[in-house]
């Protein structure tokens, strides 16, 4: 007998469930397109050369200990992370209006930011795009916010539903929080143009909507760290406030190290000091302090101009390869005379594509060809 005997079996996570099914398939030609992790031509995970070098340097440094980090994490990592996303010459950084805390990758940064807002911000509604990364609504709901949606993807054009987006944000209550994917929208691969970003910025600022950026793919979309950060920097340049969740899972290939950061750009330096003090109260009872190894690797790379450059080269190689694979898939579909318009595959950006396949077609691909993807295509 068990005191837990009455517990029901929980459903599989819709994304991780694809991997479970994939692992059970004995076929030698099977392919898993479910999880957002970069793979080599051989289908293997990739550790960047610059990461291997940084880890070697850390291991060989006898002055390194395994002491606890402070609640807010590795200070140098936090500084360098803010600089990476907001730009070296960011006025908000120079004016000490940015507070950055190291968190457990992108997910942890979103959760800490969500709990901070639930405790200290007057409006508890957060607008998330439809569709969005499946974890978003759960993270924010459990953090104490209420998730509502704004229109984002238009299945008819397989592009951005810009008018729907503008309508929905226009009718959001003043001060609502709005989750924005900084670049390479997951799962659609559809991003606003710079022009559309500017209109979104004006609309949001005019209605005091608070931006909460999720940046899980900086550099992974275009291959350029600065270009992918441009939308975020437009919002910082206007002097307004925002939240920023950063992940190094994809762009440095540090998935399992769980390394990321939450930054809050505040209206003034003294507000930033008080915000940081409250972030500590959110973090301390959650996990006390974050891990040491991942941010040490990141700081080693970001502080050294040679290693930084090597990283940008490796990062661009990954981004370029993704772009070229989109082209190859598109060309292959075309050359076989596959019915339909597949141009969305090369218009979308980042590691995800919304193929436009429906759940029946996805099931067919799985049964006939051992190609695994989420049921929404
Ligand atoms: N946001 C988005 C949009 C993502 O796609 C991901 C990763 N799938 C994350 C956040 C968080 O990832 P992690 O916690 O591994 O950094």
Of residues 30, 28, 26, 3, the one with CA closest to residue 372: 30
Residues 6+ apart with CB under 8 A from 30: 22, 370, 371, 372
**pLDDT computed for residue 240 by the predictor:** 97
List 128's β-bridge partners, or say none.
149
Kindly state if the Cβ of 107 falls inside 6 Å of ligand 1. Answer: yes
Q: pLDDT digit string (tens) for 40-53? A: 988 899 999 999 99
How many other CB atoms sit within 10 Å of the CB of residue 271? 14
Q: Is the pLDDT of residue 29 over 80?
A: yes
Q: What is the mean pLDDT of residues 351-355?
A: 87
Q: Is the pLDDT of residue 16 over 90?
A: no
Distance (Å) from CA 352 to ligand 1 centroid: 12
Q: Is the pLDDT of residue 331 over 80?
A: yes
Strand ranges (E), 198-333:
210-215, 242-247, 259-265
Lowest pLDDT segment from 13-22, 122-131, 280-289: 13-22
Name the percent of the chain lying above pLDDT 90: 89
Residues 6+ apart with CB under 8 A from 220: 183, 184, 228, 250, 251, 315, 318, 319, 322, 350, 351
List 215's β-bridge partners, or say none.
246
Q: Is the pLDDT of residue 80 over 80?
A: yes
| Residues 13, 141, 250: CA angle, nearest 5 degrees | 55
Nearest CA to ligand 1 atom 9: 106
Q: Is the pLDDT of residue 327 over 80?
A: yes
Residues 6+ apart with CB under 8 A from 217: 182, 183, 184, 186, 228, 250, 251, 350, 351
**pLDDT computed for residue 273 by the predictor:** 98
Q: Is the pLDDT of residue 353 over 90?
A: no
Kindly state if the Cβ of 257 falls inside 6 Å of ligand 1. Answer: no
Name the percent of the chain lying above pLDDT 70: 100
Q: Phi/psi of residue 126, each to 5°?
A: -115, 125
Nearest CA to ligand 1 atom 5: 186
299 touches 80 (CB < 8 A): yes
Q: To which residue do tokens 């979103």 refer?
A: 110
Kindly state if the Cβ of 247 falls inside 6 Å of ligand 1. Answer: yes
What is the pTM for the complete model shown?
Answer: 0.96
Of residues 229, 297, 273, the one with CA closest to residue 90: 229
**pLDDT computed for residue 189 by the predictor:** 92
Q: How far is the CA of 70 from the CAs of 76, 164, 257, 368, in angstroms? A: 12, 44, 18, 53
Under the banding of pLDDT at 50, 70 and 90, the label for residue 13 is confident
Q: pLDDT digit string (tens) for 89-123? A: 999 999 999 999 999 999 999 999 999 999 999 99
**pLDDT computed for residue 141 by the predictor:** 98
**pLDDT computed for residue 150 by the predictor:** 98
Whether the bond between 131 and the residue before it is cis, its omega within 30 degrees of 0, is yes
Q: pLDDT digit string (tens) for 357-373? A: 999 999 999 999 999 99
Kindly state if the Cβ of 214 falls inside 6 Å of ligand 1. Answer: yes
Q: Is the pLDDT of residue 30 over 90?
A: yes
Of residues 302, 294, 236, the one with CA closest to residue 81: 302
Q: pLDDT digit string (tens) for 175-215? A: 999 999 999 999 999 999 999 999 999 999 999 999 999 99
Q: Is the pLDDT of residue 55 over 90?
A: yes
Q: What ipTM is given for this predicted complex?
A: 0.98
Under the banding of pLDDT at 50, 70 and 90, the label for residue 12 is confident
Q: How far is the CA of 76 from the CAs of 15, 79, 149, 253, 297, in angstroms? A: 34, 5, 36, 20, 11
Instruction: Please give the structure tokens belonging to residue 355.
Output: 């193929």
Q: What is the mean pLDDT of residues 13-23?
A: 86
Distance (Å) from CA 207 to ligand 1 centroid: 28
């Amino acid at each position: 007998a068990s005191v837990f005997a009455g517990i029901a079996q929980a459903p599989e996570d819709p994304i991780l469930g694809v991997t479970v099914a994939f692992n059970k398939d004995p076929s030698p030609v099977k392919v898993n397109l479910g999880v957002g992790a970069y793979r080599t031509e051989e289908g293997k995970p990739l550790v960047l050369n610059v990461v291997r070098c940084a880890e070697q340097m850390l291991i060989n440094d006898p002055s390194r200990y395994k002491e606890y980090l402070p609640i807010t994490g590795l200070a140098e990592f936090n500084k360098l992370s803010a600089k990476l996303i907001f730009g070296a010459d960011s006025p908000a950084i120079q004016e000490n209006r940015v507070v950055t805390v190291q968190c457990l990758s992108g997910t942890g940064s979103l959760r800490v930011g969500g709990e901070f807002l639930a405790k200290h911000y007057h409006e508890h509604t957060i607008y998330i795009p439809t569709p969005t990364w499946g974890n978003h609504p759960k993270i924010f709901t459990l953090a104490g916010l209420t998730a509502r949606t704004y229109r984002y993807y238009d299945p008819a054009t397989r592009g951005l539903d810009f008018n729907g987006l503008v309508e929905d944000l226009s009718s959001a209550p003043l001060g609502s929080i709005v989750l924005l994917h900084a670049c390479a929208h997951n799962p659609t691969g559809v991003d606003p143009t710079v022009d559309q970003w500017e209109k979104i910025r004006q609309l949001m600022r005019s209605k005091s909507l608070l931006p909460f950026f999720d940046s899980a793919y900086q550099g992974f979309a275009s291959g350029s760290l600065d270009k992918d950060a441009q939308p975020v920097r437009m919002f910082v340049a206007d002097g307004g406030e925002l939240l920023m969740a950063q992940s190094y899972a994809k762009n440095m290939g540090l998935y399992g190290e769980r390394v990321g950061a939450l930054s809050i750009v505040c209206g003034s330096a003294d507000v930033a000091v008080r915000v940081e003090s409250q972030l500590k109260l959110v973090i301390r009872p959650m996990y006390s302090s974050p891990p040491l190894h991942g941010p040490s690797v990141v700081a080693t790379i970001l502080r050294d101009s040679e290693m930084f450059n090597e990283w940008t080269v490796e990062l661009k190689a990954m981004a370029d390869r993704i772009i070229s694979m989109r082209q190859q898939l598109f060309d292959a579909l075309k050359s076989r005379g596959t019915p339909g318009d597949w141009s969305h595959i090369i218009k979308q950006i980042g590691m995800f594509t919304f193929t436009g396949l429906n759940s029946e077609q996805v099931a067919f691909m799985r049964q006939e060809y051992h190609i695994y993807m989420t049921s929404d295509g």
